[in-house]
Chain A
Amino acid sequence: MISFWRKIYAKNDNVKAYTLLSPALILIILAMVVPMVLMLSFSMFTQVNMMEIDYTFTFQRYIDFFQKKLLVTLLIKSIKISFLVTLITLITAYPVCYYIAFYVKKNKMLWLVLLTLPFWTSYLLRVFSWKIILGTKGVINSSLINAGILNEPLTFLMYSETAVVITLTHAWAAFALLPLYVSLEKIDFSFIEAGRDLGLSRFEVFWKITFPLSLPGVIGAILIIFIPTVGDYVTPALLGGTDGRMLSNMIQAYFGKINNIPLGAASATIMLTTVVIITIIVSNVTKKLTQRLT
């Protein structure tokens, strides 16, 4: 009997692979899938008072969400901020990766390690260091006042959407740098040379050859920056003030001092759904665009 199973095991790669995968899959199911399904069901309950929850199914929390102007505004604002962060991060990181992929000859790995190193230092501390820089008594303001350029500190730097966007752009840089570099590095340089030999201008070579070929990296970067930043909590909480607040700060409040777990769960579900839909649209549009360009 045992030898029978052994034979199946030895012959079948599917069985072998899933045996190896089972701990990871069990972890994912127990610690992520089941909790998220439960979160989904809680979004259909009702918070009666501080302690009690009414477990009859209702879609009222979703209606509540869209009737609360604040929540809808915060959702839109979160998406807008993440969109800006993704775009700025991509545009600013692209030339750096381009340089390393095509112009750096020696020690490429070292350049990359140096680029991603700051990312490994505590996220909380990186956000905090922007507070030191942008604060009313921070580095920028105190320097400008000391230099006699300003009399009053610039207040728009701190507790604003701008502060949140700058900080997130810094915090998520590594997630654009790595996929962009990997896709640029893969490009066969003879394509670019062929383009040049055929008389295309540098600009045309970039738009018609290099950029389309690097699109997998661009899409990868969009995915891993846009989705998580929509749900960012630390940056808006430390630097956002009222102007730069995002949906996550409200979600936290529903699980904390407001104590409306169903509405919090509904907000989280709506956030995730919206992000997933937008990401699917964006990556499809980008793919279509590639087909047109090439």
Chain B
Amino acid sequence: MNEKNNTLLIYTLLYFGFLYVPVLFLPIFSFNDANYMSFPLAGFTTEHYEEMWSKRNLHKALWASIKVGVVASVISTTIALFAAKAFARYKFRGEKISYGGIMMPFLIPEIILAVAILIIWINLGFKLGLVPVTIGHTLFCTPFAMLILIARIEGFDFSLEEASRDLGENAWGTFFRVSFPLYLPGIVAALLLSFIISFDEFILAFFLTGSDATLPMYMWGQMRFVQKLPHVLALGAVIIVFTTFIVLLAFWLRNVGQGKGKKDIAVKL
């Protein structure tokens, strides 16, 4: 289509506004010198950011989120890598059902996953804490990681692996010397995005943390008190900048070394 469509263009730009403007209010008000988030802005301050340094519980929650995020993203990306390879490489019986099953955690309301894990965890006699949260996050991140990795592996020339086998490399050698380096950008992208998903996840953490708050849990606790809101805004702004940076990095990595035609596959996620 060579014609232009200005009505649609304007609509699309407005839609971008709808997507972005709400999120931008957090950073704007985080520099506002007032407890209420209303216009006109009261004045510029970085006080709310300084306040974050003094919050012991915040540091604890941040550390908890990092621990959970790193463990969950490493485990889920590893599991997803094998699964993605199976789907991208082989045709096999029960392919659709297996795929559907692994994608399920992505589809089922999170609260149901949370409740189900909560019931089994308590009845096994374990204490709530970061361990069940990590299990929940691993479950939740695996489908995401798998989608990213399938997109990466699908465009992959399997004759490279066959060549390596024919030249006498064993399965592990082939994996580490041929496949892994080629998958690497996809693997890093999957790790980063899984980490972000886990880092921001709230519902599973809400049901399963017990007293060890993760960062979203900490924010949830602070949101009820008006006088504590400003430093939540500052924290939120920092998280948004951090997340955006990581996600852009992951998006960029995902496309590294892939031909132009392959980019369309990557769009799937």
| Selected contact of B239 from candidates A22, A103, A125, A271, CB within 8 Å | A125
Indicate whether A59 reaches chain B with its CB closer than 8 angstroms: no
Q: Which positions 129-147 of chain A face chain B at CB distance < 8 Å?
A: 129-130, 132-133, 135, 137-139, 141-143, 146
B15 to chain A, nearest CB (A): 5
Taking a contact as CB atoms under 8 Å apart, the answer to whether B196 and A231 are in contact is no
Taking a contact as CB atoms under 8 Å apart, the answer to whether A142 and B39 are in contact is yes
Indicate whether A18 reaches chain B with its CB closer than 8 angstroms: yes
What would 27 A/B residue contacts be, using CB atoms closer than 8 Å? A17-B86, A20-B82, A22-B82, A23-B83, A24-B83, A31-B139, A32-B113, A34-B120, A35-B119, A39-B115, A95-B11, A95-B12, A96-B11, A96-B15, A99-B12, A120-B200, A124-B220, A125-B26, A126-B22, A128-B26, A132-B29, A223-B107, A234-B203, A252-B111, A261-B119, A265-B119, A275-B109
Indicate whether B69 reaches chain A with its CB closer than 8 angstroms: no
Taking a contact as CB atoms under 8 Å apart, the answer to whether B115 and A125 are in contact is no
Binding stretch for chain A, among B51-59, B155-163, B261-269: B261-269
Q: Which positions 2-41 of chain B face chain A at CB distance < 8 Å?
A: 4-5, 8-9, 11-12, 15-16, 18-20, 22-23, 25-26, 29, 36-40
Indicate whether B102 reaches chain A with its CB closer than 8 angstroms: yes
Residues of B within 8 A of A282 (CB): none
Cα A18 to Cα B99 in complex, Å, equals: 12
Taking a contact as CB atoms under 8 Å apart, the answer to whether A233 and B203 are in contact is yes
A174 to chain B, nearest CB (A): 9
Taking a contact as CB atoms under 8 Å apart, the answer to whether B115 and A132 are in contact is no
Q: Mark A11-25, 1 if CB is under 8 A from B, else 0.
A: 001101110111111
Indicate whether A113 reaches chain B with its CB closer than 8 angstroms: yes
Taking a contact as CB atoms under 8 Å apart, the answer to whether A38 and B220 are in contact is no
Taking a contact as CB atoms under 8 Å apart, the answer to whether B111 and A31 are in contact is no
Binding stretch for chain B, among A64-72, A155-163, A177-185, A286-294: A177-185
Indicate whether A114 reaches chain B with its CB closer than 8 angstroms: yes
B124 to chain A, nearest CB (A): 10
Indicate whether A3 reaches chain B with its CB closer than 8 angstroms: no
Residues of A within 8 A of B92 (CB): 13-14, 16-18
Q: Which positions 86-137 of chain A face chain B at CB distance < 8 Å?
A: 92-93, 95-96, 98-100, 102-103, 109, 112-115, 117-118, 120-126, 128-130, 132-133, 135, 137
| Selected contact of B120 from candidates A38, A114, A146, CB within 8 Å | A38
Query: Which chain B residue lies CB-closest to A133?
Result: B22
| Selected contact of B243 from candidates A113, A121, A228, CB within 8 Å | A121
Query: Which chain A residue lies CB-closest to B123?
Result: A38
Q: B108, B199, B223, B232 — which one has the most chain A CB atoms within 10 A of its CB?
A: B108
Cα A74 to Cα B201 in complex, Å, equals: 25
Indicate whether A28 reaches chain B with its CB closer than 8 angstroms: yes
Which residues of A does B touch, CB under 8 Å?
Answer: 13-14, 16-18, 20-25, 27-28, 31-32, 34-36, 38-39, 42, 92-93, 95-96, 98-100, 102-103, 109, 112-115, 117-118, 120-126, 128-130, 132-133, 135, 137-139, 141-143, 146, 170, 173, 178, 181-182, 185, 189, 223-224, 227-228, 230-234, 238, 248, 251-252, 255, 261, 264-265, 268, 271-272, 275
Residues of A within 8 A of B80 (CB): 24
Taking a contact as CB atoms under 8 Å apart, the answer to whether A117 and B111 are in contact is no
Indicate whether B185 reaches chain A with its CB closer than 8 angstroms: no
Q: Mark B248-269, 1 if CB is under 8 A from A, else 0.
A: 1001000100000001101111
Which residues of B does A touch, CB under 8 Å?
Answer: 1, 4-5, 8-9, 11-12, 15-16, 18-20, 22-23, 25-26, 29, 36-40, 78-80, 82-83, 85-87, 89-93, 95, 98, 101-102, 104-113, 115-120, 123, 135-136, 138-139, 142, 146, 193, 196, 199-203, 206-207, 216, 219-220, 223, 232, 236, 239-240, 243-244, 247-248, 251, 255, 263-264, 266-269
Cα A25 to Cα B4 in complex, Å, equals: 49
Cα A232 to Cα B110 in complex, Å, equals: 8
Taking a contact as CB atoms under 8 Å apart, the answer to whether A118 and B203 are in contact is no
Residues of A within 8 A of B120 (CB): 34-35, 38
| Selected contact of B109 from candidates A39, A99, A248, CB within 8 Å | A248
Taking a contact as CB atoms under 8 Å apart, the answer to whether B86 and A120 are in contact is no
Taking a contact as CB atoms under 8 Å apart, the answer to whether A271 and B109 are in contact is yes
Taking a contact as CB atoms under 8 Å apart, the answer to whether A129 and B18 are in contact is no
Query: Which chain A residue lies CB-closest to B7?
Result: A95
